[in-house]
Amino acid sequence: MRDLWLPDEMRNAPLLDPHAPAPPPTKRYALLLNPFYAKDPHASFGKHVLTPSLALTSIAGATPEGWTLKYWDENLLQGPPPLDPMPQVVGISVHLTFAKRAYALAAWYRARGAAVILGGLHVLSCPEEAAPHADALAMGDGVQLWPRILADFEAGRLDTRYCATYETEYRDDPAPRRDLLPRESFLTTTSMIATRGCHNRCGFCYLATDGLRMPYRMRDPEQIVREFEADGQPYGVFVDNNLGSRPDYLLKLCRALRPIKKIWSAAVTIDVTDDPSLIREMALAGCTGVFVGFESLADGNLEAAHKKTPRTEDYARRVRILHDNGIQVNSSFVLGFDEDRQDVFERTAAWVEENRVECSTFHILTPYPGTPLFRQMESEGRILHKDWDLYDTSHVVFRPKHMTPEELAEGYSWIYRRLFSHASIWRRRPEDLSAVIPYLFMSYLYKKSNRVWHRLIQARAVHAVWRPLVEWSRRRHLGFRRRLESTPVRLHLEALRAPSLVSAGV
C-alpha cells in the first residue's frame, strides 16, 4: 500500500500540556467539545468541514438561561481547547473512534476543577468503559438530559448517570444554537435535521446498537424553513439518517422549501426513487445532491445485513432518475461483506464509472460494539482487536471471509486511487456538455486538493473560498429549475431524456 500525504495536524490530536495553568472555574460557564479524530488520507479533507455536527449545537439550544456557552471543535486545527476562562462544566460528545481522545480531554479538565459530562453513542454502548472518565454520563437524548444535568449540578446533587429515550415529539425540540459556531471554518453552518430514525435497521449500522431505540420522528416543515432562512446561507445539508423514510413527509417538506430558492443535499436510500414524481419535487425544492447508501452490489450481502432495498440490478435505472432531475449522487459502499471477494473492488469501481456517479465514499465493514454485526463477529472469533481508534471504517478490524485483512486494506486503498484519478473523474463527466466544467471544477477541488484543504482549514478560510462557488451553484440550479418547470410533467415522468435535463452540475 502506497503512502499518502497526511500532515501531522490531520493525524495527531493537539498536545494537552499537563502543566498548563488555569484559573478557577467560571460560574455558569459551559464548554461543549467535539474531540479530534485522525483523518483518512484516502478521502477528501473537505468533508470534515462541510458542515458542523448538530449534536452539540442542539444540546446548546436546550441550555437554561443564565449559562454562558462556548463551542470548540478540535478538528478545525486551532489547537487544544481553551482553559481561560475555565469552564465550570464541560460537555463532550463521544464517538467510538475518538473515545480515547475524549477521555484524555475529560481528565485534563477534571484535573483543573471542571465537571465533565460525557454523552454520545459510545457512552450508550459502552457505559462501563466511559463511567470512570466522567462526573456524569448522558445516555440517550441529550436535548432532554442537558437541562436536568445543569440543574442538578447547580443544586449540588449531580448524579452519575442520566437516561432518556427518543420517544418525545421531535418538533418540540428547541432550534440548534448556530450562533456559537465559527462560521468562517465551515462550507455552511446550515446543518439541519428534519427527521430522526430510519426504516432500516441494518446489522452493521450504529442505529442497531443495543439499547438504542429511535422511533421515526418528524419536525414540522415550517420549522425547517424558518431555520434555513434564519441562518442566511445559500446551501444547507440535511444530516438525517434517511430523509426519505416517509415519502409523504418528504413531499410536504419539499413543497415548503421550494419558495425560498436555496439549494440543499441529504442522505436518502435508493428506494426514494420508487416515485419519480417525488424526485422531481426534490429538484424543484432545491435538492442538488444526495448521499445514497448502496452498500453493496450483491443482493446476498444486503439481505444478510437486513437492509430493505430494491434489487441491485435496478440501481442503475434509479440513479438515472436522480440524474434526469439534476441531482448528483454520492454513492456509499461498504467493502468486506461475507460475499465479497477480491473482484469486489474492480466491479464496484466499474459500476460507479459506467453510471457516471459523481462522487463515491467507501467504508471498510466495521463491527461497532453493541451491534448485531459485532456479536456475530465476536462469536465467530473474527474480531482482530478492540482498539477503538481504528474502528473508523478505513482500517480492517476483523477477519474477512474470502480475503485476508491485508487484501481488504489494499483493495480499499486501490478503489479510492482509481476513482479519485484523473481518468476516472473524466469518465464520469456529465452527458450535458454545459455541466462538464462545473463538475470538473468541483471534483478536482473536492478530490484532488487535500493540500489546499489543509491550508484553508488552518487559515479559517473555508467559508470565504466556498461561499462564492456555492452561490454560483445556486444560481445555476435556479436556471435548471426553470427549464424543469417548463417541461410538461407527463413528458418528464416518461423519462424523455433531453440534454437540458441532465445533471445541473451543482
438: its cell numbers: 462545473
> What is the SS3 assignment for 41?
coil
Checking DSSP bridges between strand 287-295 and strand 328-335, what pairing results, if any? parallel
Coil, strand, or helix at residue 134? coil
Per-residue pLDDT band at 121 (split at 50, 70, 90): confident
Q: How far apart are CA 31 and CA 405, in angstroms?
A: 40
Name residue 235's amino acid.
Y
What is the reported pLDDT for 434?
Answer: 81
Are 215 and 166 within 8 A, CB to CB?
A: yes
Among 190, 200, 196, CA closest to 218: 196
**Interacting residues of 318 by C-beta distance below 8 A, sequence separation 6+:** 270, 273, 310
Backbone torsion region of residue 497, taken as left when φ is above 0, otherwise alpha when ψ lies between -120 and 50, otherwise beta: beta
- Asked if pLDDT for residue 478 goes beyond 60, the answer is yes
Is pLDDT larger for residue 2 or for residue 334? 334
Domain ranges across the chain: 8-166, 182-491
Highest mean pLDDT among 116-125, 166-175, 404-413: 404-413
For residues 213 and 14, the model is more confident at 14
Q: Residue 369: its pLDDT value, please? A: 87
Residue the block writes with cell 450535458: 432
pTM: 0.90
Q: Dihedral sign, CA of 473, 479, 483, 484?
A: positive
pLDDT at 13 exceeding the cut of 90: yes
Q: How far apart are CA 144 and CA 226, in angstroms?
A: 22
Q: What is the pLDDT of residues 327-355, one digit of tens each?
A: 999 999 999 999 999 999 999 999 999 99
Q: How confident is the model at residue 505 (pLDDT cuts 50, 70, 90)?
A: very low
Residue 3 pLDDT: 63
Check whether 495 has a pLDDT greater than 50.
no
Residues constituting the chain: 506
Task: Using alpha carbons, select from 127, 128, 136 the residue that is nearest to residue 158.
Answer: 136
Q: What is the average pLDDT score of the chain?
A: 90
Q: CA-CA distance, 382 to 384, in Å (whole number)?
A: 6
Name the grid cell of 181. Answer: 459556531
**What is the Cα–Cα distance from 332 to 327, expressed in whole angstroms?**
16
Torsion of CA 94, 236, 239, 466, to 10 degrees: -50
Quick one: CA dihedral 211, 216, 221, 222, positive or negative?
negative
The model's pLDDT over 53-79, given as tens digits with 9 standing for 90+, comes to: 888 999 999 999 999 999 999 999 999
Stretch 102-124: mean pLDDT, rounded? 96
H, E, C per residue of 134-195: CCEEEEECHHHHHHHHHHHHHCCCCCCEEEECCCCCHHHCCCCCHHHCCHHHCCCCCEECCE
Per DSSP, helices labelled H in 270-368 are 276-284, 299-304, 315-324, 344-354
- CATH placement of domain 182-491: 3.80.30.20
Beta strands in 199-285 (DSSP E): 217-218, 235-238, 263-268
DSSP E strands, 94-199: 115-119, 136-140, 161-164, 191-192, 195-196
Cell of 397: 478490524
Residue 120, sorted as left (phi over 0), alpha (psi -120 to 50) or beta, turns out to be: left
Whole-number Cα distances in Å, 492 to 270, 383, 483, 498, 500: 19, 50, 11, 9, 12
Topology of domain 8-166 in CATH is Rossmann fold (3.40.50)
